[in-house]
Amino acid sequence: MKKRKHLFINKNTLNDLIQAYFNYIEGQYHIEKIPAKKTSEVDFIEQRVWDREAEPATIAGLAFFLGFNSRDEFDEYESRGKFSTLIKRARLRIEAAYEKKLDTSAGAIFVLKNMGRNEKAENSRPVDRVRSIKVKIIESGPQPVASEKEVLL
């Protein structure tokens, strides 16, 4: 991959851009006053009207917002860039948002697995598996009877 210049002048600039991304995805709304229902007096209720809907935080969305041309470029900058700690922190913030959705969304589980999370505990020992078991039934003792009349006391 071709090495490119730093996109950001200093940590404050990058930090401000990351914060701007998270503010942007919260959406934008304005308040409208609408008449209240079932009242004889004219009362108004304040209601949010969305100008731009909120959207989920994503790694690709962050990379695009910050001006990267590809995810590979973003990942490279995160691993070796001058400001990689800020990028890693932003990724962690996105991961935390997905963790909050785990009880409501199967998609969040999928995304977290793609971010490197494992479903299995890492400290588990491998289980020894039994390949086959031979069972031999040996009959001993009296044979079962067909009815109570055949039982001798």
Summarised one tens digit per residue, pLDDT across range 98-117 is 888 776 667 777 777 777 77
Q: Tokens for 28?
A: 């934008």
Say how far apart CA 65 and CA 55 lie, in whole Å.
Answer: 13
Host H or E run for residue 49: strand 44-52
Task: Flag whether 79 is in a domain.
Answer: yes
Q: Tokens for 65?
A: 């917002």
Binning pLDDT at 50, 70 and 90, where does residue 61 land?
Answer: very high
Domain interval for residue 21: 11-27+54-117
Task: Flag whether 86 is in a domain.
Answer: yes
Say how far apart CA 100 and CA 96 lie, in whole Å.
Answer: 6
Task: Flag whether 42 is in a domain.
Answer: no
Task: Flag whether 74 is in a domain.
Answer: yes
Task: Flag whether 58 is in a domain.
Answer: yes
- Centre a 10 Å sphere on the Cβ of residue 17 and count the other Cβ atoms it contains: 17
Residues of 31-63 as b/e, b for ≥16 C-beta within 10 angstroms? eeeeeeeeeeeeeeeeeeeeeeeeeebebeebb
- Identify the residue with better confidence: 125 or 53: 53
Scan for tokens 């995160």, then name that residue: 78
Task: Flag whether 59 is in a domain.
Answer: yes
Residue 140 has pLDDT above 50, yes or no: yes
Total number of domains in the chain: 1
Task: Flag whether 17 is in a domain.
Answer: yes
Task: Flag whether 45 is in a domain.
Answer: no
Binning pLDDT at 50, 70 and 90, where does residue 125 land?
Answer: low
Say how far apart CA 18 and CA 14 lie, in whole Å.
Answer: 6
pLDDT score recorded for residue 1? 47
pTM, to two decimals: 0.61
Scan for tokens 């999370």, then name that residue: 117
Instruction: From 50, 43, 47, select the one nearest 31 (Cα to Cα).
Output: 47
Residue 39 has pLDDT above 50, yes or no: yes
CB 107 within 8 A of CB 75: no
